[in-house]
Amino acid sequence: MILIFILYFAIALIASILGAVAGLGGGVIIKPVLDLFGDFNLQTIGVLSAATVLSMASVSLIKMRGKEIKIDKKISTILAGGSILGGITGKSVFNMIVISLGISTITAILQSSILAILLSFIFIYFNRKQHMKSYTIINKLMMFAVGFLLGFLSAFLGIGGGPLNVAVLCLLFSMSVKNAGINSIFIIFFSQLSALLLIAFTSGFEEYDLSMLFYMILGGILGGIIGSNIVIKLSETKVEKIFNFSVLFIIFINLYNIVKLI
């Protein structure tokens, strides 16, 4: 049993380090890896992932205060607001499909397929972005709409939204990868907090198997501390390489999960 605790702690730790360094959040790694092990149902994986990512994001934001990598509070606050509303909507749709219709296997295949496709586009974008035009959205309503879409996809896929956030912040708001990373974590903090509060005030946590929660939160906190210290020392190029490697790794895990479930 001790080995199981260590395993889940290690998953949360590694995912959170990568999440803090590259703005991935960690959930995009935790979700497919826990799917791969198959120890928990989709609803429980969503809670474990959200709690771990929230703990990582909290520590990372505290550690990054006063550092040279800054949060664009205007853009990220509006995106976070849209992400919260989108997250509530996405979670409601997810609950309706999985709980009401009882098609968890089909939903898991759908989640992995959509995530693999989205991440493939993100991987291609980051390897071609020097040849692509970036934009700077200034319309607040459009910012909110972008945040809503990010929140909806993140909640439905159960990933926290890290790579989607980073790609959108680079493409639509002309941020560097390092700045997009910390702004992504800021957005993720609010989206994951709202997701957990929604569960707390609706169904509650009694129906979830949270036996690994403590160890994963511990991994999230430690990963946030380590990742925050690492990202300050890394160049823009190295952060981008870590981001690309992580995205490619997650794509392969999702493809394996699809094959396993079919």
**Helix 177-201, helix 140-157: angle, nearest 10:** 60
Give the distance, in angstroms, between the CA of residue 52 and the centroid of all CA atoms in the same chain: 10
- Measured distance CA(108)–CA(95) in Å, rounded: 13
Amino acid at 153: L
The whole-number pLDDT of residue 37 equals 87
Task: Specify whether the CB–CB gap between 209 and 40 falls below 8 A.
Answer: yes
The whole-number pLDDT of residue 239 equals 86
- Measured distance CA(186)–CA(57) in Å, rounded: 7
Amino acid at 62: I
Provide the token pair at 80. Answer: 């976070």
How big, in percent rounded to 5, are the helix, strand and coil portions of the chain?
80, 0, 20
In sign, the C-alpha dihedral spanning 43, 46, 47, 49 is positive
Amino acid at 84: I
- What ranges in 23-103 are assigned the alpha helix state H? 27-37, 42-63, 73-95
The whole-number pLDDT of residue 7 equals 93
The per-residue b/e assignment along 8-23, b for 16 or more CB within 10 angstroms, e otherwise, is bbebbbbbbbbbbbbb
pLDDT < 70 regions, the chain: 66-69, 99-100, 102, 160
- Measured distance CA(243)–CA(24) in Å, rounded: 8
- Measured distance CA(15)–CA(260) in Å, rounded: 22
The whole-number pLDDT of residue 78 equals 92
Task: Specify whether the CB–CB gap between 72 and 182 falls below 8 A.
Answer: no
**Class of residue 108 by CB neighbours under 10 A (exposed 0-12, middle 13-18, buried 19+):** buried
Task: Specify whether the CB–CB gap between 214 and 5 falls below 8 A.
Answer: no
Provide the token pair at 76. Answer: 């990220």
DSSP annotation of 23: S
The whole-number pLDDT of residue 42 equals 80
The whole-number pLDDT of residue 66 equals 62
Count how many Cα atoms sit within 13 Å of the Cα of residue 187 in the half-sphere of its side chain: 44
205-241: pLDDT as tens digits: 888 999 999 999 999 999 999 988 888 888 888 888 8
The whole-number pLDDT of residue 102 equals 67
Q: What is the pTM of this model?
A: 0.86
